[in-house]
């Protein structure tokens, strides 16, 4: 399985959301802006953003 970093996602209404904005909305379902697959949000770390 390949894991790719995505910095943009779609919310339930289809709006584009940056990963940094998604951190402020826990419990949401995020989808890949390109293919529509479900995304898993990771908080990130120092030098490696969400």
Q: Using alpha carbons only, what angle is made at residue 22 by residues 20 and 24, rounded to the nearest 5 degrees?
A: 90
How would residue 49 be classed by pLDDT, with cut points 50, 70 and 90?
A: low
Q: Using alpha carbons only, what angle is made at residue 16 by residues 45 and 20, rounded to the nearest 5 degrees?
A: 20
Q: How many residues comprise the chain?
A: 50
What's the pTM?
0.68
What is 1-50 written as a DSSP string? ------SEEE-TT--EEEHHHHTTSTT--EEETTT--EE-----BTTB--
pLDDT above 80: residue 48: no
How would residue 10 be classed by pLDDT, with cut points 50, 70 and 90?
A: very high
């Amino acid at each position: 399985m390949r894991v790719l970093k995505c910095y943009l996602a779609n919310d339930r209404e289809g709006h584009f959301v940056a990963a940094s904005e998604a951190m402020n909305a826990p419990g949401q379902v995020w989808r890949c802006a390109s293919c529509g697959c479900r995304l898993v949000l990771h908080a990130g770390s120092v030098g490696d953003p969400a």
